[in-house]
Amino acid sequence: MKLYLDNSHFIETENPIDISIPLTNTTDNPRAWYVDAPIIEPVIKNRFNGSVKDGGSVNFRNISFNPHGHGTHTECLGHITPIVHSVNQSLKSYFFNAELISVEPRMRQNEKDGCLDYIIEKDQLVEKLTGKKVRALIIRTLPNSETKKHLNYTETNPPYLDIDCIDVLNDCGVRHLLVDLPSVDRESDDGKLAFHHAFWQLPENPRFDKTITELVFIDESVNDGSYLLELQTAPFENDATPSRPVLYAICEEELENM
């Protein structure tokens, strides 16, 4: 079905591009921040058996996971505030004009510990976004491979964003940032989470209307460019929740020759 955005632009609702990573109870599931694999197991209690395979009448399973460490998730400023504000209360609309860009993080030696970091820098975003106004920005890091869907990121010092990138995001009007990384900040930064604080303008001007979505995966077949983003989230009253960001290519109506 065609859904028109204006007189000449539309999306095909039957052609969604899901950029989330499914949650599984295996070691193939991506992990970060020292968590083990998610647990999905049937309820076995008294005479109740929650497994059809094992003789039960229904499959009835508990799921134990961490939204920050086990896959695609969307978080609000409650991630770093004393009061655990809920992303379910912060995110009240779900469709946004979005821009997908691909960026190869640059190697830089960290002054504090001498480690080689891979960082997305301000000028790389300027090159891709100058003159654009978007509500949502999706960043795909290069090189890009299917292994991102299965990595254990703990103690690997993954790439992250330089805090100077905030200026570009603000200039473009970005309120929803999506990345294929476990965090927008350095894995080990003494708990500063400088990019998170700057993005949500804490503590000076708390931005409840902004979200960060981490651990997405964008297949190589998806081209950089403009899309309509549907940011689907599970209604958990928590600072973060599992999410399913979906992109729709924006098509232009071909006008008949007069």
pLDDT, tens digit, for every residue of 37-50? 999 999 999 999 99
Q: Please check whether residue 28 lies inside any domain of the structure.
A: no
Helix (H, G, I), strand (E, B) or coil at 214: strand
* pLDDT per residue as tens digits for the range 117-131: 999 999 999 999 999
Q: Considering the chain, what is the average pLDDT of its residues?
A: 95
* pLDDT per residue as tens digits for the range 111-164: 888 899 999 999 999 999 999 999 999 999 999 999 999 999 999 999 999 999
Range(s) of the domain holding residue 72: 2-22+67-252
CATH number, domain at 94? Answer: 3.50.30.50
- For the chain, the straight-line distance linking the first and the last C-alpha, in angstroms and rounded, comes to 26
87: phi then psi, degrees, rounded to nearest 5: -65, -25
pLDDT band at 253 (very low <50, low <70, confident <90, very high): confident
pLDDT greater than 80 at residue 256: no
The total number of structural domains that make up the chain: 1
Q: Please check whether residue 38 lies inside any domain of the structure.
A: no
State the greatest distance between any 2 C-alpha atoms of the chain, in Å, as a whole number.
75
Average pLDDT over every residue of 168-183: 98
Q: Is 25 exposed, middle or buried (0-12, 13-18, 19+ CB in 10 A)?
A: middle
Q: Please check whether residue 51 lies inside any domain of the structure.
A: no
Pairing of strands 136-141, 95-103: parallel
CB 163 within 8 A of CB 131: no
**Contacts for 205 with CB less than 8 Å, ≥ 6 apart:** none
Amino acid at 204: E
Q: Please check whether residue 85 lies inside any domain of the structure.
A: yes
**Contacts for 230 with CB less than 8 Å, ≥ 6 apart:** 16, 94, 95, 245, 246, 247, 248
CA atoms within 13 A on the CB side of 185: 17
pLDDT greater than 80 at residue 257: no
What pLDDT, on the 0 to 100 scale, is given for residue 258? 32
* pLDDT per residue as tens digits for the range 23-36: 999 999 999 999 99
pLDDT greater than 50 at residue 107: yes
Q: Is 156 exposed, middle or buried (0-12, 13-18, 19+ CB in 10 A)?
A: exposed
Q: Please check whether residue 60 lies inside any domain of the structure.
A: no
DSSP codes, 44-97: EETTEE--TTTT-SS--EEEE--TTTSS-EEE-GGGSSSS---HHHH----EEE
Q: What global pTM score does this model have?
A: 0.95
